[in-house]
Structure formats: structure tokens, C-alpha cells
Structure 1
Amino acid sequence: MSTFSEVGNLKNVTNFGTLISFATGYGATYAPSNTAILLTALNTKKTTAEADLEILKDTEIPLNKQRGIRKALFEPLRPLSTRMLSALEASGAKQETIANAKTIHRKLQGSRAPGAPKTIIDGKDNPDTISVSQQSYDRQADFLQEFIKLLEEETQYNPTETELTTASLNTYQQQLYAINQVVKDAYTPYSNAQITLYQTLYTPETGLVELAYTTKKYIKAAFGARSPQYAQVSGIKFTRPKK
């Protein structure tokens, strides 16, 4: 599916309503032979598009709520990783174990060794796809699990701070996994709503935008390129999504 913006979608639907208003004002002189651009058909398409926009908005609200919860839950991860590493270094663990821990820690911090790909958490999601950001959240939870397993295998690691114990860390890590799944589950209806709206607006020949262009062409043909009627609608803009 091509990229398209919420602003562009809303503007297309709003401008479609303006186009219909002008066409309605022409009365009986607006009489296309193409049934797809009869006023009844145009109004039906407008109603469908408005309903699709509303559904998209309704599904975005819970998605954004869960994204906010996830962002807050992941917020302590980086400083926690630093404390985990420091606790391991202070425990008397072997240097090889500490070196492996530092590698995982770098991944959790979003930093990298020379030549390694950078891992980020930016708190954002591309609404059109399963984003790089989402994958990053998944990876961060996986990195934490990897770090915990390393600590569990190190007999010297036995911190007195409750939040640094492997039991507490495992509980936190499971919370991260859980919220990632919650966000994915909330994303599904939002993504489906996007698909439906996209089809309503941009399907070739039958989509709202194509019907708008066809309607403008009919008005140009019916009243003339220099007519005041065509002057009313010629400047009404409709945009197609970028491919």
C-alpha cells in the first residue's frame, strides 16, 4: 500500500464535499451519463469515506494510549541496564562475562561497536507498516532477556538491591514482552481501518479521488473550460498517495 497522510485523506474528503455542493447547485443541468458520478453515487461515496475516517480515528485512540504506556514502561530500561552492568562488574565476575555483558549493554543503550548497526528506540511508529521502531522495541526486550540469562549463569552476581535481582528483572522483562504484544494487537484494527479507507479513497476508477477528477472533467465538458461553473471546481485540489 502506498504512503498517504491523515491530512491528505481528510482534505480529499472535505474537498469532495465542496465539489458535490457545487454540482448539486447546478440543478438539472448536472446530468452525467456516467452513473458513477451521479449525485446519489457521489454522496454515497462521501458518506462511506466519512465513516471510514471516523473508524480510523476511533481505532487510533486506543493504539496511541498503548503506545504511551509502552514508552513509559521502556523508559527505565537504559538506566537499569547501566546499573545491571555496574552490579556485575562489582560482583567479582570474570572479565569474559563482563565483556559479554558490555556488548549486550551497548545494544540496550542504542550505541554500537565500530561497524555494527545501530539499535534505536524512538517511541514512534510508522502508521502504514510494522515499523522499524516496533522491531526495535521487540529487540530491546530480547536484549534484556539475553542480559538476564547471562546474569543467571554468573554465580557471583547476587545483588542485595531487589530491582537488580534476576527475579525482578525477569518480571520486568515479561512486562515489556506483554506491552509489545498489546501494542501489536491494538495496531491490527487501526491497520485494517487504514486499508479500508485507502480503498475507499484511492482505488483506481472507483475511488473517491478518481471520481472527483472524473466529475471535474464532466463539468468542464458540460459547461466549457472557460465557464464560471468550471472555474468554481477547477481549483479544488485532490491528491493521490505517493508510490
Structure 2
Amino acid sequence: MTTPIKKSVSETGHAKNVANFQSLISFCTGFGEVYNPSKESLKIPQLQMLLQQAQEKMNATITQKTSFDNATNSRRNSFSDLKPLSTKISNAFSVAGVEQLGINNLKNMNKKLQGTTAKKASASAEDSQPETAKTISTSQQSYDKMVEHFSSIIEILVQSSSYNPNENHLKVKSLQDKLSDMQTKNQELIDSYTQYSNAMLERNQFLYNPLSGLVQTSKEIKQYVKSIFGASSPQYKQINGIEFKVIKGG
């Protein structure tokens, strides 16, 4: 049985604001010629344009989120066998006729790699919703360290003329290719998160700018309708119950 992916509260909140704004426009359009604000930004064509742009910002964020999720999965797959592989390398190195000092150096580096774990915060960065800058940063530090330690392990192997295993996956060239793939996947995730973060910032600015955002505009619409129909009018009651919230964060 597949567990459904839950949308974050904030993600649902953003979408609800946009959907409610569409409903608000529909009511205002239904008022006909009576709805005739002097402020340009409250006129129906401008509201429709604002709605379209808001939907575009939402879609752009979803697109970047999907790219980020794909990059997260790719990096996870690339790193998934790193720790057992590092242990195999350490064992192969120990029986390759290398001096004990070299064996000790590689074992110590392997211990560092094995101990480089993304703590609870970093696990949440890749497995839960929503991602935050703090959890992403914690996770990134862990992966950067694993790349650093694995690179050091390879350098120890390169400097040892005795290390020449018959197993292809343990050969230096294979390990260098592995390192290159890890570095690429790691960088791709960093880049994709930057794009995702920027998309969220643009969406939030568009929805929640205190002067011109969608939520602020909705407040002004309600005030205008209240001014022309009255606070106790059925027209105002139609739209006053349409809820808009400023969503902080993701």
C-alpha cells in the first residue's frame, strides 16, 4: 500500500488564497455595473490579470518543487551505497600489502565517513514537508562532508602503489567515477533548491506584499463593496466570509 504524500499546510494555504480570490472576482463580476471602483487595481480586468499572474507564480513554484524532489531522489540514490562501499575499500586496502600507517589512515577516514550522518533535521529535509532553509542547510553539510571524506579515501588509494584490486567496483578509476557522480548530483540538488527557494520568494511576494499583494487587494475589494452596498447588505455578506490568510514561510 502506497502512503499518499501530504501537502504542507502552507502549500494548501497559498492555493486556497488563490482559489478564494477567484471566487471573489466572480462575485464582483456578478454585481454588474454597480461594481465600479475608481482605483485602477480594483477594476475587474486588473483583478483577472492579478489572478492569472498568481496562478503562474503558483505553477512555477510547483515546477521547481518537482525538480527539487527529483534532484533529492537522484542524490539519495547516488549516495545510498557509499558507506558499505567505503567499508569494502577499507577491508581491501588492509590486505593489499600496504604499510600499517596507511591502513590506519584509511580506517580513520572511513570512520569519519561512517559517522557523517544527517541528523534528524536533515532526514526531515529530504523526507518531510515542507522543506526549510535550516533543515536543508543541515542536510547539505552532511552530504558535503561525505564527499570530502570519500575524496580523501580515494587520495589515500592513489598514493599507494600496492592497492590494485581485481574487483572493478573497488578500482581507483571506478571510485573516481563514483565520486564525480556524487559531486554532480550534490551540485544539481543545490542548484535546484536555489531555484525552488527563489520561486517561493517570488510567489510569496506576489501574494503577500502589504501594498499590492493578492491578500491586500482582497481586503480593499471587501472595503469597496462594503462602501457601496453597506455592512449589512447581502452583497457584502456574500464576500465578507471569503477567507484570506497571510502564510509565512514555505
Pair 1:14 & 2:19 matched: yes
Aligned residues: 236
- Per-residue CA deviations over 1:104-149 (Å, capped at 9, x if unaligned) read 334433458xxxx969863728756492223433332222101211
Q: How far does residue 71 in structure 1 lie from its aligned partner after superposition?
A: 1.8
- Per-residue CA deviations over 1:86-112 (Å, capped at 9, x if unaligned) read 223444655554444344334433458
Gapped regions of structure 1 (runs ≥ 5): none
Cα distance change on mapping 1:33 and 1:178 into 2, 3 Å: same
Could you say what secondary structure the match of 1:23 adopts? helix
Q: Which residue of 2 aligns with 1:84?
A: 89
Q: Is the 8 A contact 1:110 1:119 kept in 2?
A: no
Q: Is the 8 A contact 2:116 2:145 kept in 1?
A: no
Distance, in Å, in 1 between the alignment partners of 2:131 and 2:121 is 18
Q: Which residue of 1 aligns with 2:76?
A: 71
Cα RMSD (Å): 3.1
Q: Which residue of 1 aligns with 2:5?
A: none
Q: Which residue of 2 aligns with 1:42?
A: 47
Q: Is the 8 A contact 1:110 1:120 kept in 2?
A: no
Mean Cα deviation higher: 36-45 or 58-67: 58-67
Q: Percent identity?
A: 36
Give runs of aligned pairs for residues 159-238 of structure 1, distance below 5 A: 159-238=165-244
Distance, in Å, in 2 between the alignment partners of 1:81 and 1:135 is 19
- Name the TM-score, length of structure 2 as normaliser: 0.78
Gapped regions of structure 2 (runs ≥ 5): 1-8
Q: Is the 8 A contact 1:8 1:239 kept in 2?
A: yes
Distance, in Å, in 2 between the alignment partners of 1:32 and 1:62 is 42
Q: How far does residue 150 in structure 1 lie from its aligned partner after superposition?
A: 2.5
Counterpart residue identity of residue 203, structure 2: L
Pair 1:124 & 2:126 matched: yes
Could you say what secondary structure the match of 1:240 adopts? coil
Q: Is the 8 A contact 1:110 1:121 kept in 2?
A: no
- Name the TM-score, length of structure 1 as normaliser: 0.80
Q: 25, 29, 39: which one pairs with 1:24?
A: 29
